[in-house]
Each structure stands twice: as structure tokens, then as C-alpha cells.
Chain A
Amino acid sequence: MVDPMIAPRQHHLDAEKVYIETARRLSAAQQLATLHALQQSAWALKTSLLRSEHPDLSEQEVRKLVRDSFLYAAS
């Protein structure tokens, strides 16, 4: 979780511990909900960027471009 270019400091190790404990505590429903929120967020950000960079595109064209980019989505 820490930038590989940074030597870990004590507070990084503390945060790592909290992160692992939090991840273990999450139910399947919470994990699924978080995944859904991440997907929604990625969709909205992509849509917003395309709209600002290509104001000439119609809503339908923007939606298609966003959909296409999700075809190559990775984790």
C-alpha cells in the first residue's frame, strides 16, 4: 500500500494493520456494495471527462464510448 519508492515508516505499518483488519471485517454484502460504488464512480468520472473534452458529442455517443471503455476494464 505504500509507494515502493518510499521506505516504510511506522505510521505506514500502523495503517497497513488497520487496512488488513478492516478488509477482514467486511461482509460479502459490504464488499459487493463497495465494488458497485467503485463501478458507478468510474462510470461517472469517465462520462464527465469525455463530456468536457468532447463537448460536440451527443449523450448517446458519450454513453457508447464509456460502455466501450468498460469492455477493457481491469482491476
Chain B
Amino acid sequence: MLPPDLISLFVLVVRPRCSSSLFVAPLNRLGVVYMVTRSVTSGTYSHVRFTNDIDLVAMLSDTEATRLHTAFDTPEFYVPPLEVIETERRRPTHGHFNLIHLETGLKADFFFAGNDSLSQRSLELRRRVVDQRGETVWFAPPEYVILRKLEYLRDSGSAKHVADIQAMLQVRGDLLDRQFLLGEIEALGLRDVWRQFGA
């Protein structure tokens, strides 16, 4: 373990950027409707988790896609060509591309809501959180994070998702919108995988 003074020195010399605002600040400036989901949100909603990626779900018009590409098309970031973003945006489901911050190695997984009704509804229910620079970070509602993790659990069986869901249920408890959660569990055919949580 390095002494705190040495860490402070490193931090002063390297001057790290706030990890969340790196990717969301340009989106906020462009007025893009987005929400952060997966590890960053499940960690904030339950037990903290450090992750070097941020997962975003967004709806973009064709004009916004061009503006987004321009915003990230700088020496600071890796962004795929605009044609890739356009192609992914037009997919009805699973539209996705990556952004990488070249100074820190942090990356964003950028998903398009497409015609997925759960993503569209959750974007309407997104929650505003603020980072250490006062930058707004829009979070997916916790129910969305749980529902997506249930899908991943059903498809992969990974124990990591079991632990994450259990932690969110334990910490969130009565704060969850049970009607929303249970309704979508039925709609998405997740009743069997949900049963193991006995919630």
C-alpha cells in the first residue's frame, strides 16, 4: 500500500479527470437523453463497485448522432466512424458502440434504446445524480438495472449477477417500485429466474 502523501503527489502530477463526467458532460451539453446503467448504477444503488467502464443507454436523432460524433472526435477519445454510429443507431435492438478515453483507458459502452420498450420507459424514469464536479449524471432507475441483470443471469448463469441483484434488493428494499419490477418480470419472461430471490 502506498503512503497517502505519495498518492496525493501522483494525483497532483497526473491530474486525473472525473471518470463519470468524461463521457456524460458532452452528452449533457448536447441535450442527449441518456441513462447510465449496469455496474456504475448497481454499485451506487447498493455496495460501491469500482469499474473502468461506464454503460450508457440513449436515444439519438440523426442530427444528435452527428453532433455526438463531432463532440468525441478529438485527440482525447477513440470514437468509431460516424457511419458506424449511424448503422448502430438504426438497429431496432442491440445497437452499440464504444468510446475510449485515451489518457485514462476508461471506456464507455454506448447502447441505443432502439425499439426496446423497457429502455424507452426507463429513460422517462431516469434519475438525476451529481458527481464531484457538479455535473449531472442521469441514472437508470434501479428496477431497470435489476431487470437487465436478471436477463444476463438467465442467459449466462453468472454468480456475479446473483450477488449484484441480492445486494440491490437488500439495500433498496422498500424504495423499489414493485409494481413496475414485477410487471416487467412477467412481460420479459423472467419469473423463473426471479423465483430464486424469494422477493
Contacts and interface: CB of A to CB of B under 8 A. Distances in A.
A26 interface: yes
Contacts of B139: 49
A72 B49 CA distance: 8
Chain B interface residue number, banded? 35 or more
Contact of A1 (B17, B48, B98, B175): B98
B106 A49 contact: no
B109 interface: yes
A42 to B, nearest CB: 5
A51 to B, nearest CB: 9
Contacts of B96: 2-3, 6, 12
Interface SS majority for chain B? mixed
A33 to B, nearest CB: 4
Given A30-B14, A33-B15, A12 B7 contact: no
A32 B94 contact: no
Interface residues of A, number: 43
B51 interface: yes
Interface of B: 2, 7, 10-11, 13-20, 40, 43-53, 78, 80-81, 84, 94, 96-98, 100, 102-107, 109, 111, 127-132, 137, 139, 151-152, 155-156, 167, 175
Contacts of B46: 69
Nearest to B102: A22
18 contacts: A1-B98, A1-B109, A2-B98, A2-B109, A11-B98, A18-B78, A22-B100, A32-B2, A34-B16, A37-B16, A41-B18, A43-B48, A45-B40, A45-B131, A48-B129, A73-B43, A74-B47, A74-B48
A46 interface: yes
B50 A35 contact: yes
Contacts of B16: 33-34, 36-37
Q: Which 9 A-B pairs have the closest CB atoms?
A: A37-B16, A33-B14, A44-B132, A15-B98, A72-B47, A33-B16, A73-B48, A48-B130, A41-B19
A45 B10 contact: no
A34 B52 contact: yes
Given A1-B107, A14-B80, 14 more contacts: A2-B96, A2-B109, A5-B151, A11-B81, A30-B105, A31-B105, A32-B11, A37-B16, A40-B132, A42-B44, A42-B48, A43-B48, A46-B44, A75-B51
Contacts of A4: 152, 155-156
